[in-house]
Chain A
Amino acid sequence: MAALDWLNVVVAAVLLAGIYAVMSVGMTIIYGVMKIVNLAHAGFMMLGAYFAYELFERGHLDPLVGAFLAFPVFFGIGRLVYWLFVRWLPVSNQPTLGSLLLMFGIWLVLQNLAYLVWGNEDRSIFTPRTFLTTQIGPITISTLRLVAFAVALVSLVVFELVLRRTWYGRSVRALIQSRYAGQLVGVDTRRTASLTFGLGIGFAGMAGALLASLYSFNPDFGRPFLIRSFVIIVLGGLESASGVALGALVLALAETIGILFVPAGYQLAISFGLLVLVLLVLPGGLAQLFAKRYRSA
């Protein structure tokens, strides 16, 4: 393959990584703060996609505006779900059987409510922008992916700033490092957990809305992305949005390059294979790689 083709592949991977990062950052903070694996993440992503779809079909609203609107709406939904269900779970330092089954149940309910409301046919959003391309030097990029990437990047940078600069962000990082120590220095765990759950679902809804303009979707939408989000978490660690971005980049590269060698039907097998490989070789994620380098130096 020519060097130019490789460049195109890498650019495509970077653009995909932006959306992947938004998708998994929500799952990351919920896992980090509450040690809950949000299996319902897939369900909220699917709802985000339908949210953008309905706004576009009924309100003729640009799906990218829909993605921005999805964030506050799903933030509210997330806090409601936290208040209704999640806060009753016993607090634990590792994922419990109960939390896994509860989130799984919420996912089943969301998915099958969507089947009742929208049926099982595939939907997609077509705007005049859908087939536009942008030419940057020798590289051809889908404009839509470029814009979606920009939206993703902006929201990630804002989130990173929130994590670094605000009291809430400090509480989140404290609870990720040690729940016990966080409580000792006066972090309001309930409030932080509630806000975090809201933010996590907000990101899920936004990612779903962004993906809705790139792919077709049905109520089962999101399930392949659940495993991808988890691969990214395992790769990138829990400490920062930049770790998530790095994990997302690795996965997007593996998928974009892997698709050249593996039939399209097996694409999910790439992310799963990557997960198994990482668990076997680098159970501490990419951070472990850097830590090892540091030690040996």
Chain B
Amino acid sequence: MRVVSAIAGGLGRPGWIHVAIPLALLAALAATPWIGAEANLLRLLFITFIWTTTGIAWNILGGFTGQVSFGFAVFYGLGAYTAAILINTGIHPYLAFAGSALVAVLASLMVGVPTFRLRGPYFAIATIGVSETVRVIMSNLSVTGGASGYRIVEATAFRQADHFYTGLLLVSLAFVVSVLISRSKFGLALTAIRDDEPAASDVGINPLTQKLAAHGVAAALAGMAGGVYARYAAFIHPHGVFAFNTSVYILLIPVIGGIGTLWGPVLGGVIFGIVEEQLVASFPQAHLLIYGALLILIILLEPGGILGIVRKGLRHPRLRFNP
């Protein structure tokens, strides 16, 4: 029971188990390349790190703040392209990832400033428009090769363990950011906005700035994930990183695991990483159909996702949450 309550991560002073479980997981993952795991497993884990990071990022905005975005591919793609261009100039990849985060934050402001001032569905709809527009622009932009894609040439040799640890570092960073936000006053403000925006502004929270901040943090994480992925893939094209499917996957991950929770996106990312590998191999045509049906089922039957089912099974009072 304590383990489960720790995974749910309530407010208040974190108990030892809140720290022990993530650390143990981190240690186990960090050891994987050492104990001679095969390259395919490392690749699967790396992809899972990337997806989990984007899922955690989406969850900060969608789960904590209640603002649904259908356009996270914009940040992922912009991050990928920024990192690609910067790495090709020869600077250190980690600096390039910082550049990815910066560009993504700027893009998040351009979407957020006009739409977050208003309550209602403006933001959600605008994100669909933004992702369409950005993909069209990137497909026609000659500097980055347009629709034919962009290649990344690094001076150093490809070392899979290097990419693996970058991914692990990134997902750990995303998780820590998510934990810190959920335990801070900022996180409380976000939850207040999600649950009742007029009431939140009555108690002195500025919904515009708080939403913009949450969007910015989420965009930075998604942008860095795009950058790390681009360096690994060494070739990116607009219909990959900016694809509508990418936005769908990113929002699906926290929804599967448990929206608005700390571990939901992690659980969702792991499941998605594995399922996507298997599904793409066996049903290349139907996987979005399956994801759509899954989305409908989760929303109607158990909006809390897998963690919601676990909680209902355990009926633990500390595990309650209201989506």
Please state if A105 and B133 are interface contacts (CB–CB under 8 Å).
no
Contact, CB under 8 Å: A100 / B124: yes
Across-interface contacts of A223 in B (CB, < 8 A):
128, 132, 244
Segment from A46-54, A197-205, A206-214, A273-281 that makes contact with B: A273-281
The number of residues on chain B lying at the interface, defined by a beta carbon within 8 Å of a beta carbon of chain A, is 43
Q: Please measure, in the bound complex, the distance between the C-alpha atom of A240 and the C-alpha atom of B226, giving whole angstroms.
A: 44
CA distance A244 to B140 in the complex (A): 33
**Cβ A283 vs Cβ B136 within 8 A:** no
Q: Is the CB of B132 within 8 A of A109?
A: no
CB distance A108 to B292 under 8 Å? yes
Distance A272 CA – B133 CA, assembled complex (angstroms): 8
Q: Is the CB of A104 within 8 A of B289?
A: no
Q: Does A102 contact B (CB under 8 A)?
A: yes
B115 within 8 A of A: yes
Query: What residues of chain A lie closer than 8 Å to B62, measured between beta carbons?
Result: 97
Knowing A102-B296, A269-B136, A275-B129, say if A37 contacts B121 (CB, 8 Å).
yes
- In this complex, the member of A97, A115, A234, A271 whose beta carbon has the largest number of chain B beta carbons within 10 angstroms is A97
Say yes or no: B295 contacts A111, CB within 8 Å: no
Which one, A31, A102, A104, A265, contacts B70 given CB within 8 A? A104
Nearest residue (CB) in B for A220 is: B244
A residues less than 8 Å from B259 (CB atoms)? 97
In the bound assembly, the distance between CA atoms of A244 and B135 in angstroms comes to 29
Within 8 Å CB of A280, what residues of B?
114
B120 within 8 A of A: yes
With A265-B140, A269-B133 as contacts: A98 and B299 at CB distance below 8 Å:
yes
Which residues from chain B contact A268 at a C-beta distance below 8 Å? 129, 132-133, 136
Q: Which residues of chain A from 264 to 295 have a CB within 8 Å of any chain B CB?
A: 265-266, 268-269, 271-272, 275-276, 279-280, 283
Are A227 and B132 closer than 8 Å at their CB atoms? yes
Contacts A276-B114, A280-B114; A109 near B292 (Cβ below 8 A): yes
Question: Which residues of B sit under 8 angstroms from A230, Cβ to Cβ?
Answer: 125
Q: Which residue of A lies closest to B139 (CB)?
A: A265
Q: Find chain B residues with CB under 8 A from A106 CB.
A: 292, 296
- Tell which of B129, B294, B300 touches A85, judged by Cβ atoms closer than 8 Å: B300
User: Digit string of B51-85 for contact with A (CB within 8 Å is 1, else 0)?
Assistant: 00000000000100010101000000000000000
Per the bound structure, the CA–CA distance linking A265 and B285 in Å amounts to 27
Task: Judge whether B289 and A113 touch: CB under 8 Å.
Answer: yes
Partner of A101 from the list B117, B120, B139, B295 (CB cut-off 8 Å) is B295
Q: Which of B62, B139, B288, B292 has the most CB of A within 10 A?
A: B292
Which residue on A lies nearest to B126, using beta carbons?
Answer: A275
Contact A234 B289 (CB under 8 A): no
CA distance A279 to B125 in the complex (A): 12
Interface residue A68 (Cβ < 8 Å from any Cβ of B): no
Distance in Å from the Cβ of A46 to the closest Cβ of chain B?
Answer: 14
Residues on the B chain within 8 Å of A94, using CB? 119-121
Contact of A105 among B118, B122, B299 (CB under 8 A): B299
Q: Which residues of B pack against A, CB within 8 Å?
A: 62, 66, 68, 70, 114-115, 117-122, 124-126, 128-130, 132-133, 136-137, 139-140, 244, 248, 251, 255, 259, 285-286, 288-289, 291-296, 299-300, 303, 323
Interface residues of A (CB under 8 A from B): 31, 37, 39, 85, 88, 94-95, 97-98, 100-102, 104-109, 111-113, 115-116, 223-224, 226-227, 230, 234, 263, 265-266, 268-269, 271-272, 275-276, 279-280, 283
Please, could you name 8 A-B residue pairs with CB atoms under 8 Å apart, sorted by A?
A37-B121, A101-B299, A102-B295, A113-B289, A227-B128, A230-B125, A266-B136, A268-B129
